[in-house]
């Protein structure tokens, strides 16, 4: 009996049911993250629904809770809490799949991180709902929220660092025990994702700890705004890749298995993740293209660096379609596009991520427009950007997470995905697609007509120039309503899968690599080198402009509470 089958046998005895690839204690840790991410999804989704209805004028503002409180809660709950908790749950699952059982110490560390995150979320939510922190999730210094809001965020981020530390430790242990062997692909990608998160959050931690929290506590009376915004966007763009990379892990390693194929190339998959780490940092200024105080030259340099991220995106697109085509041909497809018919569209584990991929094609193209040096001026701060955001994170990432949850939740709970729940999943995916098409299309078009983003209800409606925005707000409300129905259906299915579905063994879908694929070079494991290159690129892109910002700083601005 080899080590793996012995481990599986142990799991079987422990759970009194057929073995899965994850131990009971590992599954509990991952499920805690995933289940609370779903609570955040419900709250955030509800705020989103209310927002579209309030802005269209279908319902008046809800007693005591204004539009911008809803907007802050919607952004924080979905873009930060839902994503981060789900991602950490997913990454713990990937590591459980890759490494088998966790050691006692890193597993406990994972729990400490989880409870830190929970405490942070509670403090932040409390402040937002109390109307003490309507600063949206991008902070907008010198707007000044309650200190507890910032303290909650710090605790949340520290929680994620503790959990990241647990994962680094597991990876290092594995490497020590398996000299000269590549850790499994899913583990490599998971570690790359948390590494990206840790390096990114250094920026947001710096602005909170050294600028916003002291201002909020009254220790300082002024804040340097451009520096704060630069530190935020240094975090804010890699954050996008922190959302995207776990979805890419599913695309690269899980989807090939579900379509009955193999991973196109282990080495190229690792390389694309490495490139994402390197290229996602020196790019923050493309969010600040229209701001004073940053030279146009350095903005252009960062635009060039931003576009380098297109290369790993193109690699990912190629790998996906190569996998689909090879799998289809193996199943007897002929002709150039015959493989399209062979894909398992009736399997929610495939359909949801696949629709997400389709959304990502226009989303990526829109991203290129947003980041363009001059084209940005047409769409900057309009609803176009909101539309873009919703088809990247809200469609490509969210749909992939939905599709993943349909096998992950029953797997973690020792249950199975039934035919009926799969059918609910297909309907739910369809609803999400339709809702998102309505909403994001309306946002993109009305953004091109100049409709600004992040604005409350009935704005300038008396102006004849903006009368043509109204139909788009109606379309957004229709889309938002359909999206919320989809969330309710999803949560119903998740409840069933976690607590009601028949007990059994759900497969952890992990594909093998194509036999013909190349050997993975060992330099991908040279972490010291890659972290050095990452920081060198960050230093190249930021040192001069930040020096300029400090050297030529305006007198600081006092804080304001304008809500």
Which positions from 123 through 152 interact with another protein, judged by CB under 8 A? 134, 136, 140-143
CB of residue 289 vs another protein: minimum separation in angstroms?
5
248 catalytic? Reply is: no
CB of residue 99 vs another protein: minimum separation in angstroms?
27
CB of residue 70 vs another protein: minimum separation in angstroms?
12
| Set 241, 252, 359, 542: catalytic member | 241
CB of residue 285 vs another protein: minimum separation in angstroms?
10
What pairs with residue 382 in β-bridges?
Answer: 452
One of 450, 474, 525, 530 touching another protein (CB under 8 A): 450
One of 122, 423, 512, 554 touching another protein (CB under 8 A): 554
264 catalytic? Reply is: no
CA distance 248 to 272: 10
One of 452, 474, 491, 533 touching another protein (CB under 8 A): 452
39 counts as binding another protein under rule CB under 8 A: no
Determine whether 525 is exposed, middle or buried from the number of CB atoms within 10 Å of its CB (0-12, 13-18, 19+).
Answer: middle
| Beta carbons of 66 and 130 less than 8 angstroms apart | no
CA distance 215 to 223: 7
What are 51's two structure tokens? Answer: 């927002």
Contact region with another protein (CB under 8 A), list: 354-362, 477-485, 491-499, 548-556? 548-556
65 counts as binding another protein under rule CB under 8 A: no
Cis peptide before 142 (omega within 30 of 0): yes
315 counts as binding another protein under rule CB under 8 A: yes
74 counts as binding another protein under rule CB under 8 A: no
What are 153's two structure tokens? Answer: 């965020």
CB of residue 555 vs another protein: minimum separation in angstroms?
4
Backbone angles phi, psi at 475, to 5 degrees: -60, -35
Please choose, from the candidates 350, 329, 327, 351, the residue with its C-alpha nearest in 3D space to the C-alpha of residue 338: 329
544 counts as binding another protein under rule CB under 8 A: no
How many CB atoms lie under 10 A from the CB of residue 337? 10
CB of residue 268 vs another protein: minimum separation in angstroms?
7
Rg from Cα positions in the chain: 23
CB of residue 552 vs another protein: minimum separation in angstroms?
7
Say which residue the tokens 């402040």 belong to: 127
- Find the DSSP H helices in 130-265: 147-177, 185-207, 213-217, 225-249, 255-258
CB of residue 88 vs another protein: minimum separation in angstroms?
29
What pairs with residue 62 in β-bridges?
Answer: 65
Contact region with another protein (CB under 8 A), list: 194-202, 337-345, 388-396, 454-462? 454-462
**Which of the residues 325 through 344 are near another protein (CB under 8 A)?**
none
460 counts as binding another protein under rule CB under 8 A: yes
| Beta carbons of 142 and 561 less than 8 angstroms apart | no
Between 179 and 552, CB nearer to another protein: 552
Contacts of 64 by beta carbon, 8 Å cutoff, 6+ apart: 131
526 counts as binding another protein under rule CB under 8 A: no
| Set 453, 472, 508, 542: catalytic member | 453
How many CB atoms lie under 10 A from the CB of residue 107? 19
Backbone angles phi, psi at 560, to 5 degrees: -140, 145
459 counts as binding another protein under rule CB under 8 A: yes
Backbone angles phi, psi at 165, to 5 degrees: -60, -40
165 counts as binding another protein under rule CB under 8 A: no
CB of residue 252 vs another protein: minimum separation in angstroms?
14
One of 219, 296, 334, 502 touching another protein (CB under 8 A): 296
CA distance 70 to 66: 6
Between 311 and 474, CB nearer to another protein: 311
Please choose, from the candidates 431, 73, 272, 453, the residue with its C-alpha nearest in 3D space to the C-alpha of residue 62: 73
149 catalytic? Reply is: no
**Which of the residues 486 through 515 are near another protein (CB under 8 A)?**
none
What torsion, rounded to 10 degrees, do the Cα atoms 322, 327, 330, 336 define?
-50
**Which of the residues 195 through 234 are near another protein (CB under 8 A)?**
224-226, 229
DSSP category for residue 183: P
CA distance 506 to 20: 7
Between 97 and 288, CB nearer to another protein: 288
Kindly determine how many residues on this chain lie close enough to bind another protein according to the rule CB under 8 A.
74
457 counts as binding another protein under rule CB under 8 A: yes
**Which of the residues 367 through 396 are near another protein (CB under 8 A)?**
372-374, 376-378, 380-382
415 catalytic? Reply is: no
454 catalytic? Reply is: yes
**Which residues are annotated as catalytic?**
237, 241, 388-390, 453-454
């Amino acid at each position: 009996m080899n080590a793996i089958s012995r481990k599986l046998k142990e799991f079987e005895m422990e759970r009194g049911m057929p073995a899965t690839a994850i131990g009971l204690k590992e599954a509990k840790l991952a499920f805690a993250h995933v289940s609370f991410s779903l609570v955040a999804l419900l709250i955030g989704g509800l705020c989103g629904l209310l927002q579209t209805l309030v802005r269209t004028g279908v319902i008046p503002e809800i007693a005591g809770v204004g539009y911008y409180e809803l907007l802050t809660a919607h952004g924080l709950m979905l873009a930060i809490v839902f994503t981060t908790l789900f991602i950490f749950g997913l990454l713990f699952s990937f590591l459980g799949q890759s490494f088998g059982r966790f050691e006692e110490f890193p597993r406990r560390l994972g729990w400490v991180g989880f409870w830190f995150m929970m405490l942070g979320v509670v403090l932040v939510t409390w402040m937002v709902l109390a109307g003490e922190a309507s600063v949206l999730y991008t902070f907008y210094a010198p707007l000044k929220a309650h200190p507890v809001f910032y303290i909650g965020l710090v605790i949340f981020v520290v929680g994620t660092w503790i959990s990241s530390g647990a994962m680094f430790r597991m990876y290092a242990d594995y490497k020590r025990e398996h000299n000269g062997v590549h850790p499994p692909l899913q583990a490599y990608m998971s570690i790359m994702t948390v590494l990206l998160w840790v390096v990114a959050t250094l920026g947001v931690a710096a602005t909170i700890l050294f600028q916003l929290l002291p201002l909020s506590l009254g220790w300082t009376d002024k804040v340097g705004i451009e520096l704060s915004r630069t530190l935020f966007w240094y975090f804010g763009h890699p954050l996008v890749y922190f959302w995207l990379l776990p979805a890419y892990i599913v695309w690269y390693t899980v989807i090939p298995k579900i379509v009955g194929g193999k991973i196109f190339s282990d080495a190229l998959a690792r390389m694309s993740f490495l490139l994402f780490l390197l290229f996602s940092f020196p790019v923050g200024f493309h969010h600040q293209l229209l701001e004073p105080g940053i030279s146009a030259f350095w903005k252009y340099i960062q635009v060039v660096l931003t576009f380098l991220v297109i290369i790993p995106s193109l690699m990912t697109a190629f790998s996906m379609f190569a996998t689909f085509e090879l799998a289809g041909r193996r199943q007897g497809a002929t002709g150039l596009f015959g493989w399209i018919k062979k894909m398992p569209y009736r399997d929610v584990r495939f359909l949801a991520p696949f629709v997400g991929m389709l959304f990502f094609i226009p989303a990526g193209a829109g991203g290129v427009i947003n980041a363009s040096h001059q084209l940005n001026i047409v769409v900057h701060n309009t609803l176009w950007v909101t539309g873009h955001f919703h088809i990247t994170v809200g469609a490509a990432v969210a749909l992939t997470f939905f599709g993943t949850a349909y096998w992950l939740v029953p797997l973690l709970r020792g249950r199975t995905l039934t035919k009926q729940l799969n059918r609910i999943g297909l309907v739910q995916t369809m609803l999400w697609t339709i809702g998102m098409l309505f909403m994001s299309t309306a946002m993109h078009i009305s953004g091109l007509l100049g409709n600004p983003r992040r604005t409350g209800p009935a704005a300038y409606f008396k102006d004849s120039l903006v009368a043509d925005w109204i139909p788009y707000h109606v379309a957004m409300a229709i889309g938002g309503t359909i999206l919320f129905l989809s969330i309710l259906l999803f949560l119903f299915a998740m409840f069933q899968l976690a607590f009601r579905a028949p007990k059994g063994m759900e497969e952890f879908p992990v594909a093998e690599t194509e036999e013909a694929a190349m050997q993975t070079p060992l330099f991908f494991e040279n972490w010291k080198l890659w972290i050095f290159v990452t920081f060198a690129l960050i230093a190249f892109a930021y040192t001069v402009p930040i020096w300029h910002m400090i050297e030529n700083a305006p007198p600081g601005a006092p804080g304001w509470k304008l809500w």
